[in-house]
Amino acid sequence: MTAAILPRDALIDEGDAAPDLPVCDHYCGTEDRMRKALALQAELGPVFDVTLDCEDGAPVGAEREHVRMVAELALSADNRFGRVGARVHPVDHPAFADDVDTLVGRAGDRLAYLMVPKPRDLADLQQAIGHIEHVSRVHGRGAALPVHALVETHGALRDVFALAALPRLQSLSFGLMDFVSAHRGAIPQTAMGAKGQFEHPLVVRAKLEIAAACHAAAKVPSHCVVTEFKDASAIADAARRAFREFGYTRMWSIHPAQVRPIIEAFAPSVAEVDEAIEILLAAQAADWAPIRHRQHGQDRLHDRASFRYYWQVLGRARRTGQPLPAEVAAALFGDAPD
């Protein structure tokens, strides 16, 4: 009897799968907040990343001491799942080279990624990546270290499709605050709020361009911050809009209270997961040929295009920590039975 073909082998061509990143990226800049974030990650599991911030987190004049502390945290037992990254200074900042040398040289094989902020254009990001690769070769660490980048300048937005196409790049994030400030007062401060950032045309345009560029290059678009942290419903609503209306598959958190609402907002519902399982198991039984499936009281036809969608629903369920029945995980993901 021929073994069933897994969805990832039947449906996804080489190079078409986006990186399998958690849906939430939590930023923290001081040692106590970093340790609290790592403790929360230990509690919840690797359903969110922790980014240790060497840019906004480093006290002016103490950048060298700060980045060494970050490297030690990345190397520590508190980095339980290997889902800890670090944000370095911009490529033209005096601390950039030391940031990269310290992080890659000491912890290059324990970091999940490096985040590069404020590239002014494609050349800036290429320069930053080139230096990261050089330091990796020198130290013999971090050979496969991915790079994330922040789109928060006019030039980066202009070059966003070229940025997303860079081979080492894994994800692009939208830097809302700096992007608004770059308009010199022409965009009101309301466009930085949980509601206004989804309505102002220039901000909406930027978000859509970034999402489109990432999906075209099979990279992960990461949505910007929401400054509200006491109103869980506002956080959850922003996360749902980021995913359902703007196509983002990941979102920043800047306060521990934001982590759970973001994860829950990106998670598919139980009904969505059940429907995806039914369709994919039926498709697998038909060797991935078109099928007819009864949904919502009607017979509907499905083929590989819709199969891919439902496969992505299950991938999102896994990334948000939703357990699947053991037999489903074995049949569709190839997991070993317990």
pLDDT tens column, 206-238: 999 999 999 999 999 999 989 887 888 999 999
- The reply to whether 49 and 119 lie within a common domain is yes
Model confidence pLDDT, tens digit, residues 19-45: 999 999 999 999 999 999 999 999 999
Phi then psi for 6, rounded to 5 degrees? -75, 150
Residues 133 and 171: their CA atoms lie apart, in Å, by: 17
Does residue 273 carry a pLDDT above 70?
yes
First to last CA, the chain: 23
Boundary residue ending a domain (266, 290, 314): 266
pLDDT tier for residue 338 given thresholds of 50, 70 and 90: low
Q: Angle 67-168-17 (CA atoms, 0-180°, nearest 5)?
A: 125
Is the pLDDT confidence value at 2 over 70?
Answer: no
The string of DSSP letters for 128-179 reads HHHHHHHHHHHHT--TT--EEEEE-SHHHHHTHHHHHT-TTEEEEEE-HHHH
pLDDT at 1: 43
* Residues 149 and 281 placed together within one structural domain of the fold: no
301 and 245: one domain?
A: no
Over residues 72-87, mean pLDDT: 98
Same domain, 36 and 140: yes
Same domain, 242 and 306: no
pTM of the predicted protein model: 0.94
Mark whether 259 and 295 lie in a shared domain. Answer: no
State the Cα–Cα distance between residues 219 and 242, nearest whole angstrom.
16
* Spatial contact of 61 and 92, defined as CB atoms under 8 Å apart: no
The total of structural domains in the chain comes to 2
pLDDT tier at 105, thresholds 50, 70, 90: very high
Residue-level length of the chain:
338
Residues spanned by the domain of 312: 269-333
Domain annotation covers residue 249: yes
d(Cα 98, Cα 66) in Å, to the nearest integer? Answer: 11
Domain boundary among 249, 266, 283: 266
